[in-house]
């Protein structure tokens, strides 16, 4: 037993993540065999999850850079709005890649205001963020009335249709092309065999590797890139010292103000990317007012659950994206209904985990919720639409309820810093 535990702890992170994911798919497969849905492990669902999670993940990564530099960025939601608008505007006028660049600059503009307010003037981080959340939709509303309303198919609340970038399919895994040669589609072959669990695993994986937007690929590449920059470069070390102990950094001659500015600006740029992605055909295909759907805040929740680490943020974003992705096409509510059984199993695991750590209150809470979900699951065959609508938010709160207390945030996050003061 102890040997097993040691091996587990020594295994590289990517292997443990893979095993977690496989266990997750296994639970979904079991539930799927017990209920009458095929959506839980379908490639459509996993592909939708991958896309839906992008803005959440980018907002979370944005929060990561900002909070690692010691600045809380509640304004991410506002920066998503700016990214959405500028991304759509840029795409319509200059094509999708320039649109992405312009969307990033739009989000960065919101971040610049936040940086000036919090870093240069010492305004409370939450207050400045709230002001940006409130101001950003007003600015885009004005811009839409001046610009999109004059375009054919546009109006005060929305832009005309927006083009997307090219697609990418992984070679060998899902049969992508390499220089004109079509590689074998290994995952597709497994799906065709239809073996229990193996087929489901292949189907989930194929959704994650087949016909992706290049923008999606770029977004996910930012995860290892962020990890490398923050933990493997001198720049990252300095940025993190600004969030952990700025006075110590200052004593080493580091220009803390500059690193805080860079951290906040990068966070706005990432949120701007997230916003542009929402407007891209991968999600909405137009700029639509009010369509951030709190994903800036869900991104912050992903940052907390992800323990202020890039891989954690990505995993949490995918987790938060899953119920929405599932609910999107689940008009009759059967797939969402079977998700209740998944919740029962997950809560049962939490009960066991809490009991093993002698956390009685956690165990009682999880047990009660499991009973509630179980009762609901047995008493109906479908769930109503309103539940599908509020499920993402309920899910975020529940995850925070069980896991928010075990985590460690950067030491000096949210604290005002002035040069030369201790």
Residue 6 exposed, middle or buried by CB count within 10 Å (0-12, 13-18, 19+): exposed
- Smallest separation, CB 216 to other proteins (Å): 25
Give yes or no for residue 316 binding other proteins (CB under 8 A). Answer: no
- Smallest separation, CB 21 to other proteins (Å): 25
The dihedral over CA atoms of 412, 73, 128, 398, expressed in degrees to the nearest 10, equals -100
**Whether the Cβ atoms of residue 165 and residue 215 lie closer than 8 Å to each other:** yes
What SS3 class is residue 404?
A: helix
Of 4-12, 174-182, 257-265, 399-407: span binding other proteins (CB under 8 A): 399-407
User: Where are the strands (E) in 362-411, listed by range?
Assistant: none
Binding track over 155-194 against other proteins, x by CB under 8 A = -x--------------------------------------
* Residue 177: strand pairing partners: 182
* Residue 213: strand pairing partners: 167
Give yes or no for residue 257 binding other proteins (CB under 8 A). Answer: no
Give yes or no for residue 137 binding other proteins (CB under 8 A). Answer: yes
Give yes or no for residue 371 binding other proteins (CB under 8 A). Answer: no
Of 47-55, 137-145, 204-212, 310-318: span binding other proteins (CB under 8 A): 137-145
Q: Which residues fall within 8 angstroms of residue 249, CB to CB, at 6 or more apart?
A: 238, 241, 242, 256, 259
| Integer angstrom CA distances of residue 5 from 45, 96, 343, 406 | 33, 48, 26, 20
* For other proteins, the closer CB: 208 or 301: 301
Q: Which residues fall within 8 angstroms of residue 379, CB to CB, at 6 or more apart?
A: none
Give yes or no for residue 18 binding other proteins (CB under 8 A). Answer: no
Give yes or no for residue 132 binding other proteins (CB under 8 A). Answer: yes
Q: Which of 59, 208, 396, 412 binds other proteins (CB under 8 A)?
A: 396
Q: Which of 11, 198, 378, 394 binds other proteins (CB under 8 A)?
A: 394
Give yes or no for residue 364 binding other proteins (CB under 8 A). Answer: no
Could you give phi then psi for residue 167, rounded to 5 degrees? Answer: -105, 165
Nearest C-alpha neighbor of 118 from the set 245, 248, 242: 242
Sign, CA torsion 188/192/196/200: positive
| Integer angstrom CA distances of residue 371 from 34, 91, 114, 217, 352 | 18, 49, 45, 40, 15
Give yes or no for residue 356 binding other proteins (CB under 8 A). Answer: no
Q: Which of 117, 262, 326, 339 binds other proteins (CB under 8 A)?
A: 117
* For other proteins, the closer CB: 120 or 177: 120
Give yes or no for residue 422 binding other proteins (CB under 8 A). Answer: no
Of 140-148, 237-245, 263-271, 274-282: span binding other proteins (CB under 8 A): 140-148
Rule CB under 8 A: which residues touch other proteins?
A: 74, 113, 116-117, 121-123, 126-128, 130-139, 141-142, 144-146, 156, 293-294, 297, 300-301, 304, 384, 386-387, 389-390, 392-394, 396-397, 400-402, 404-405
């Amino acid at each position: 037993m102890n040997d097993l535990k040691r091996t587990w702890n020594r295994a590289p992170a990517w292997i443990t993540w893979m095993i977690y994911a496989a266990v997750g798919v296994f639970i979904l497969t079991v539930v799927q065999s017990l209920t009458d849905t095929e959506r839980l492990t379908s490639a459509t669902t996993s592909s939708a999850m991958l896309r839906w999670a992008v803005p959440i993940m980018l907002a979370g990564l944005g929060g990561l850079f900002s909070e690692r530099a010691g600045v809380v960025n509640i304004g991410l939601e506002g920066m998503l709005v700016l990214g959405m608008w500028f991304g759509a505007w840029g795409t319509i006028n200059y094509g999708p890649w320039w649109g992405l660049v312009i969307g990033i600059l739009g989000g960065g503009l919101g971040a610049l205001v936040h940086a000036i307010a919090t870093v240069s003037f010492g305004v409370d981080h939450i207050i400045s963020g709230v002001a940006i959340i409130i101001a950003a939709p007003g600015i885009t509303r004005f811009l839409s009335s001046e610009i999109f309303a004059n375009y054919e198919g546009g109006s005060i609340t929305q832009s005309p249709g927006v083009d997307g970038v090219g697609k990418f399919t992984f070679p060998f895994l899902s049969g992508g092309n390499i220089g004109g040669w079509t590689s074998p589609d290994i995952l597709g072959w497994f799906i065709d065999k239809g073996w229990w669990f193996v087929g489901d695993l292949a189907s989930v994986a194929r959704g994650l590797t087949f016909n992706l937007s290049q923008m999606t690929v770029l977004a996910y590449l930012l995860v290892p890139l962020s990890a490398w920059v923050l933990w493997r470069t001198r720049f990252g070390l300095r940025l993190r010292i600004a969030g952990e102990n700025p006075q110590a950094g200052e004593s080493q001659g580091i220009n803390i103000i500059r690193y805080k500015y860079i951290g906040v600006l990068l966070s706005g740029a990432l949120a701007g990317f997230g916003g542009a992605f929402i407007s891209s055909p991968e999600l909405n295909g137009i700029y639509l007012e009010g369509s951030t759907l709190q994903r800036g805040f869900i991104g912050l929740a992903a940052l907390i659950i992800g323990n202020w680490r890039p891989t954690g943020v990505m995993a949490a974003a995918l987790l938060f994206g899953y119920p929405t992705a599932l609910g999107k096409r689940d008009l009759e509510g059967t797939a969402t209904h079977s998700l209740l059984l998944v919740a029962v199993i997950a809560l049962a695991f939490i009960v066991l985990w809490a009991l093993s750590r002698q956390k009685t209150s956690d165990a009682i809470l999880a047990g009660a919720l499991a009973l509630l979900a179980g009762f609901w699951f047995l008493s109906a065959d479908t769930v109503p639409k309103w539940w599908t609508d509020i499920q993402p938010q309920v899910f975020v709160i529940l995850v925070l309820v069980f896991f928010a207390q075990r985590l460690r945030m950067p030491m000096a996050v949210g604290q005002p810093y002035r040069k030369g003061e201790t």
